[in-house]
Structure 1
Amino acid sequence: MYKDLVSEFKHIYREHGKTTIAARAEAEQAADRISQHGYKNIFFAGSGGSITTIMAFAEIIKRLSDIPAYWEEAAELMVSNYKQLNQDSLVVIMAKTGTMIETVQLSAYCKEHHIPCIGFVMIDDTPVANQVAYKVMLDVESSPIRYLTLYYFVFRLLYNHGDFPDYESFCASLEQLPEALCHVLDAYDETAQGFVERYHEEPFQLWIYSGLNQGEALKYAADIAEELFRQKTQIMNAAEFFHGCLEIADDDTNIILLKSEGPTRVLDERVERFLRKYASKKLVVIDTAQFELPGVDDAYRGYFSPVILNVCIEELITNYMIERTGKSAATRRYYGIVDY
């Protein structure tokens, strides 16, 4: 019934993965220059799908380093007058088009106020690309492969700061990730199709996450389910679930729990126990621990939960939803259509 996405994505992961790995020096050299210059804190900033992709890296830094790290909506960062944001900061922007007004204004703000800013961009010679102090190109075609460049950059910063001495070992696993993600495609393809068949007309979905998985939960709920398919959604932190949200959980509610592999997994497991007892009929659990990642050291796979989820949700579920519903970016009512 559905077109063959797996073969298409496997080809992209393998070919674009090789190109991205071969270009790792670009991200590393940017990290080295920034480390040499020095910084006292890091702000990851963006809007829409861009901020959701880089959220996890602020959390990773918090776990591995004493470097203060934050993620912020680009527009809010500019108007909030945070005392922590100054010339000793590093602002990290990810920009898909390089023309979105929030990131254009933020990169201009950083330039005007002499705040070091690095832009991870997919299109060169755009307002964002031309305004940032440091620039690294990202893969244009593949969302999972874009993660690789960000991993190289962030973990190189941590290595330079003395927080992650096993950087080269980590990179050896990172080189195996594109092929490992091909195994994720095979493992989840049928499940993704089943999800779409059962839930493509759900009026409401509750997405629950913890730890590094916040960005991927928000990306699908807001930037895909709501924006493309006009399904109403809510995202909820697993620890916060028991402070109000549990009262809307029942067998009539489609609930998607994204189980992490790191220290917050215990929070996900607590939610899962409750939901299997009281709201199991439309419960979907996506557990990144269920996927084999050949060649990836178990010591590092917890850092890769977001990219595994990206394959399952953004690559497979989203594209099958587009095919099943006939809705897509081309059928949006407001975004890019009306002035706001």
Structure 2
Amino acid sequence: MTELLKDILGQPAQFKKALAYHQGNQYSEIKKASDAIGKASQVLIIGIGASYTAGISIMHALKKHEVFCSLIDASELENMEIFPPNSIAMILSRSGKSIEIVKSADICKRHKIPTIAITNDTQSPLAQNVDIVVSAAVKFDHAVSISTYSSLILVGGLITTFKEYGKHMADIIQRLIGACDYIEKYQLEWQKRIELSIMKQEALPVFFLGRSESYASARAGRLLWAEVAKSQSSCFATGNFRHGPQEMLSKKCKIVIWLSDHYSLNNDIKLISDMIRVGTDVSVITSQKQIGPDVDTYIVPAVPEEFQAAFNCTPVQMMAEALSRKLGVDCDSFVFCNFIVTSEAGIQ
């Protein structure tokens, strides 16, 4: 078993650990971050790599709760000339040591912007240089971000929902723990199915499609294909895919699509039907019932949409790991990228 697969299978337990941590300290870190956001006119979400991808889900969650926000790649922050007044920055980083992330905290301080960090290392340079630190409270993954990616979404969801649901957080926590139990129950079955499916596949162009809360998962799929399988892929918002990129559809194309519980469900089911009709290999990840008897469907637990992307990325994590073994590449090691990028020059 690869170290990556161990991290994937251990993800539900890490989620429970994070939830227990925040429940145990009476959500003190969560409340402090939530209160600070409530006083700001805009939230600048800052991340890079997997953390930037997690920011897509957090941005969707904040907007759902009527918080104006922007998502900024940390490597582009220093090129911003205008910082909106009364803003607050939410900086996402598993290590808190990446060079662009450390510089982001400095830039925000220089512009007198209050800062919140969601990070796994509460003693990191980032954590030491922000106003509020919220722990992701999971152990570090072996290499590729698994729990350290999805826990940012989990904790970001807690911060986003706290103001509205603070008195009912115990109920939300229990629902999330139930979702962890569900993943633990079905993940070995998914892994066996994926193993058989991947080993039968040819080397195909792969497209990841997601909408709203699941667009982050589509972006995560593309990143996993690069980091884990060392292979090419593309990702699109599902609606955007229909404006040109669908010309790539053929029998030599693989689509992984997430269905949203809340947005354009029937339209996307029709899209799936049409893609299968033209011979495309389609896998569907959804919390809805089985889409059809002949559709490769992975049913994930239904949770509030602020948390959905933390749970519905598990099947594609397994797909990337299985593909790496088929292609004979080492998913447990980086070839050109350091575990923590501390320089802005070169490929290592």
TM class by shorter-chain length?
Answer: 0.7 to 0.9
Which runs of 5 or more structure 1 residues have no equivalent in the other structure? none
Distance between the aligned counterparts of 2:279 and 2:187, measured in 1? 23
For the aligned residue pairs, the C-alpha RMSD in angstroms reads 2.9
3-state SS in 1 of match to 2:90: strand
- 1:30–1:2 distance in 2 versus 1, CA, 3 Å: closer
- 1:244–1:120 distance in 2 versus 1, CA, 3 Å: same
Distance between the aligned counterparts of 1:30 and 1:150, measured in 2? 10
- Structure 1 or 2: larger helix share? 1
**How do 1:7-46 and structure 2 match up within 5 A?**
8-23=10-25, 24-35=27-38, 38-46=39-47
- 1:266–1:64 distance in 2 versus 1, CA, 3 Å: farther
Distance between the aligned counterparts of 1:285 and 1:32, measured in 2? 38
Distance between the aligned counterparts of 1:147 and 1:121, measured in 2? 11
Distance between the aligned counterparts of 2:100 and 2:213, measured in 1? 24
Letter in 1 for 2:305: G
Letter in 2 for 1:99: K
Distance between the aligned counterparts of 1:100 and 1:207, measured in 2? 27
- 1:20–1:145 contact (8 Å) kept in structure 2: no
Distance between the aligned counterparts of 1:56 and 1:183, measured in 2? 21
- 1:232–1:292 distance in 2 versus 1, CA, 3 Å: closer
Structure-1 residue corresponding to 2:185: 186
Pairwise CA distance, 1:220 = 2.3
Distance between the aligned counterparts of 1:257 and 1:333, measured in 2? 29
Letter in 2 for 1:220: G
- 1:210–1:268 contact (8 Å) kept in structure 2: no
Distance between the aligned counterparts of 2:2 and 2:115, measured in 1? 43
User: % of aligned pairs identical?
Assistant: 15
- 1:17–1:136 distance in 2 versus 1, CA, 3 Å: closer
**How do 1:288-303 and structure 2 match up within 5 A?**
288-290=287-289, 291=299, 293=301, 301-303=304-306
Pairwise CA distance, 1:217 = 1.3
Letter in 2 for 1:46: G
Structure-2 residue corresponding to 1:242: 242
Q: Indicate which of 117, 122, 125 corresponds to 2:123.
A: 125
Which string of whole-angstrom CA distances, capped at 9 and with x for unpartnered residues, describes residues 249-305 of structure 1?
11211111111112243443242132122134x211111334474xxxx7x633332
- 1:220–1:7 distance in 2 versus 1, CA, 3 Å: closer
Structure-2 residue corresponding to 1:207: 208
- 1:9–1:106 distance in 2 versus 1, CA, 3 Å: closer
Distance between the aligned counterparts of 1:134 and 1:170, measured in 2? 21
Structure 2 residue 155 is matched with structure 1 residue 153 = no
Letter in 2 for 1:169: H
TM-score calculated relative to the size of structure 1: 0.82
Letter in 2 for 1:339: G
Letter in 2 for 1:28: K
Structure-1 residue corresponding to 2:285: 286
Pairwise CA distance, 1:322 = 5.3
Pairwise CA distance, 1:128 = 1.1
3-state SS in 2 of match to 1:118: strand
**How do 1:1-340 and structure 2 match up within 5 A?**
8-23=10-25, 24-35=27-38, 38-65=39-66, 67-81=67-81, 83=82, 85-141=83-139, 142-143=147-148, 144-156=150-162, 159=163, 164=164, 166-169=165-168, 171-199=170-198, 202-222=203-223, 224-280=224-280, 282-290=281-289, 291=299, 293=301, 301-314=304-317, 316-321=318-323, 325-335=328-338, 339-340=346-347
Pairwise CA distance, 1:190 = 2.2
Distance between the aligned counterparts of 1:149 and 1:302, measured in 2? 13
Pairwise CA distance, 1:205 = 1.1
